[in-house]
């Protein structure tokens, strides 16, 4: 069978005309019925997309507001303690960095030798706190790997 572009064009025109006629008829029926009889489509608030919904209602226990207040205070205290610990660690690391001029170079050297950044920073901080008189990177490398 040979491809015949004329038959494809005729089929497309017939199909297009049928679809257009269908929509035209739907439009005119809608206009003739009037807008008073047409009700808006009701879409439920909890439509699901691939989830299994539980129709049982969930009741919240609000019988003890004092307990809720206590728990909120505990959470807030824990957040503040964590924030304080982070700030103290940041100040400690900044102090070590500002104390020693070789800090960044020492960290870079350890990273280039295969340590990850966090471990390299930890090793450098601990070593420079114990040995603040290190003047060169060679002394640092020798001291770190002397363990």
Q: Is 136 among the domain residues? A: yes
- Can you give the residue range of the structural domain that contains 136? 100-147
Q: Is 87 among the domain residues? A: no
Q: How far is 28 from 34, CA to CA, in rounded Å?
A: 10
Q: Is 104 among the domain residues? A: yes
| pLDDT score at 9 | 92
What are the tens digits of pLDDT across the range 102-131? 888 899 999 999 999 899 988 988 888 888
What are the tens digits of pLDDT across the range 6-24? 888 999 999 999 999 999 9
* Mean pLDDT value across residues 91-105: 69
Q: Is 115 among the domain residues? A: yes
User: Could you give the number of structural domains in the chain?
Assistant: 1
Neighbours of 140 (CB within 10 A): 23
| pLDDT score at 79 | 94
């Amino acid at each position: 069978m040979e491809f015949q572009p004329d038959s494809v064009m005729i089929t497309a025109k017939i199909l297009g005309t049928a679809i257009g006629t269908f929509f035209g008829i739907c439009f005119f029926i809608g206009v003739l019925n009037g807008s008073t009889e047409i009700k808006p489509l009701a879409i439920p608030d909890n439509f699901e997309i691939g989830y299994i919904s539980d129709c049982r209602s969930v009741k919240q226990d609000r019988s003890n507001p004092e307990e809720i207040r206590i728990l909120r205070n505990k959470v807030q205290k824990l957040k503040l303690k964590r924030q304080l610990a982070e700030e103290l660690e940041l100040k400690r690391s900044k102090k070590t960095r500002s104390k020693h001029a070789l800090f960044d170079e020492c960290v870079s050297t350890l990273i280039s030798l295969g340590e990850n950044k966090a471990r390299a920073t930890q090793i450098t901080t601990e070593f420079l706190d114990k040995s603040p008189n290190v003047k060169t990177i060679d002394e640092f490398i020798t001291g770190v790997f002397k363990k």
